[in-house]
Amino acid sequence: MADLDTLVNQVWSPETRRLAGEALRCYNTGAFRTSIAATWTAITADIITKLIGLADDGDSTAIPFRTAVTNAQAHGLNREGVKAMQAIEADLLTDAEKFELIDAIDAHELSRIQEDRNLCVHPSLRLHGGTYEPHAEVARGHLVIALTALLTHPPTQGSRALDEFKSYICDSSFSPTPAHLQAAFFDRVRSAAQRRIIQLAAKSALLELDPGGLLPAIEHADRMAVALEAFAARNRALVREAVTGQRDKFRTIDGPAQTRALIRFADEDYFWDLVDEGLANRLQDLVVQVPVSAPGQLTAVQAITTLALVRSPLVRDRLPKLEAHFLAHSWWDQMTVAGAHPDRYFAELIPGYLTQAGAWRVGEQVGQLLVKHARFLTLDILSAALTAWVENYQCRTANLMETIAVDLWNQTAHLGPARIEAFQNFLTRAREHEGDTAAPGYYTYRALELALTATP
């Protein structure tokens, strides 16, 4: 059951909030007839304020309404003024629906409030005499409907909200901040407008629609995907419906566009609801097209980004050939992919790279990759990496590795005191290997030892 106090506090306009508060106080004191009348008063004041606001904001189609209201007000309380305002009030729900402040269902529900208000203030309308005595549930229901269908929503029209969304996506000041996208284009718009905005975002992100030259189609699709992810946090079912509704069109677009869509949505369950068996086979064929080149030859950004999809559990589950294809590349090229897209998946492979490093500079690069993945490390991965490092002469005796060891210690603070043992074991083995070097006293990782000692 709705909390009326909370709903009243959410009314967008201070004046309407005051009127809705009066209706609530009447309801709480048992004055149900007065509460219904006050609820309708709040509705009429809200619609008039919103439509005049639209006119003031430059909506030319709302200007005649504003003119009619100001003319009626100019007459004052004489017969002409009262008749003019009654005529305006009679069409208010129709006007509110026309300007998309409410939809047809809302208009129908609000019209019941208008009818019951007439019964409350015109007792002579009852056929056999007596006054209309509304039940408490009726008064409460009317107030809830008024609040949820109209009073708590700002004066944003569906088409206007959609146009604002289109403009913002293409704006040079676009910000991919989820909270802003949600507040501006989801939370403050009605459900019908939410659906239209989400459908546009899904269609644009999947099919890379041209936004009329305002932005490159691919960049436009990337921004739409960000917006769609933000909206999914509010209503995932609605996003899922919009995405899956594009299946037939998505099936027919070219391969590069399908691959880019996969990259945008690899970790989103609503995208995989779109992918049936046929599409899964198609996408799998696309992602394994990256040729297995000679070590060190993997340089194309698109190829690296495509191979990096292997880090997603959803991709590995639905496109199982990709992992085998990725692992068929040289470990050097695997490092290139991992360096561009750090992830827990790649972190588990780094101990193996440390074992295989066959030169000082290579060992340093693997060490730097390990630090880059520090936030994904577990105690087990860290221990395995340190063991592989200290047991590989090329890694252990590379110049930069002493500094890299300290960086790794600092960057793994999230593992807490439990990591101390792994680093101490590393230092012990480094000292034991000291005799393997041409210059005794070097490569004992004194700086790391000092860092461990300095830790509280």
- Of the ranges 75-89, 185-199, 259-273, the best mean pLDDT one: 259-273
| pLDDT in the model for residue 455 | 77
Name the DSSP class of 157: -
For residue 410, pLDDT beyond 70: yes
Greatest mean pLDDT range, 94-98, 144-148, 202-206:
202-206
Six-digit token pair at 291? Answer: 């040729």
Using DSSP's 3-state secondary structure scheme, residue 69 falls into: helix
Which structural domain, as residue segments, surrounds residue 49? 4-151
Taking the C-alpha atoms of residue 331 and residue 437, their distance in angstroms, rounded to an integer, is 27
pLDDT bucket at 142, cuts 50 / 70 / 90: very high
User: Phi, psi (5° rounding) for residue 152?
Assistant: -85, 0
Which of the four pLDDT bands, split at 50, 70 and 90, describes residue 252?
Answer: very high
Of the chain, the percentage scoring pLDDT greater than 70 comes to 93
From 129, 151, 173, the end of a domain falls on: 151
Give the mean model confidence (pLDDT) for residues 40-59: 87
pLDDT at 104: 87
What does the buried/exposed string (b/e) look like for 338-351 if buried means 16 or more CB atoms within 10 Å of the residue's CB?
beebbeebbbbbbb
**Residue 192 — left, alpha, or beta (φ > 0 → left; ψ -120 to 50 → alpha)?**
alpha
**How would residue 292 be classed by pLDDT, with cut points 50, 70 and 90?**
low
Segment 129-142 shows an average pLDDT of 86
pLDDT of residue 145: 94
Q: What is the mean pLDDT of the chain?
A: 89
- Number of domain units in the chain: 2
Mean pLDDT (whole number) for 426-451: 78
If you average pLDDT over residues 222-240, what whole number do you get?
A: 96
Which of 65-69, 349-353, 375-379 has the least mean pLDDT?
65-69
Q: Where a domain ends, among 99, 131, 151?
A: 151
Residue 166 inside a domain? The answer is no
* 336 found inside a domain: no
Cα radius of gyration (the chain): 33
Residue at 388 is within a domain: yes
Domain final position from 109, 134, 151: 151
pLDDT band at 1 (very low <50, low <70, confident <90, very high): very low
Statement: residue 221 has pLDDT above 70 = yes
Q: Give the per-residue pLDDT at 454.
A: 85
Is the pLDDT reported for residue 228 higher than 50? yes
Per-residue confidence (pLDDT) for residue 154, from 0 to 100:
76
Mean pLDDT within 351-366: 95
Query: Domain for residue 218, yes or no?
Result: no
Identify the pLDDT of residue 295.
Answer: 57
Q: pLDDT confidence of 97, banded at 50, 70, 90?
A: confident
Percent of the chain with pLDDT over 90: 65
Q: Average pLDDT of 241-259? A: 95
| Contact between 118 and 33 (Cβ < 8 Å) | no
Domain contains 239? no
Residue 339 has pLDDT above 90, yes or no: yes
Mean pLDDT of 145-164: 81
What sign for the dihedral angle of Cα 377, 381, 383, 388? negative
Task: Tell me, yes or no, whether 456 lies in a domain.
Answer: yes
For residue 416, is it within any domain?
A: yes
Mean pLDDT of the region 140-152: 91
Is 319 contained in some domain?
A: no
Q: Is the model's pLDDT at 229 over the cut of 80? A: yes
Weakest-pLDDT range from 81-95, 275-289, 315-329, 362-376? 81-95
Mean pLDDT lowest for which of 117-126, 328-337, 404-413, 425-434?
Answer: 117-126
Convert the pLDDT of each residue in 58-72 to its tens digit. 777 888 989 988 888
Is the model's pLDDT at 440 over the cut of 50? yes
pLDDT value at 424 more than 90: yes
Q: Which amino acid is at 277?
A: E
Tokens of 199: 């459908």
**379 Cβ contact list (under 8 Å, min separation 6):** 415, 418, 419, 422
Binned at pLDDT 50, 70 and 90, residue 193 comes out as confident
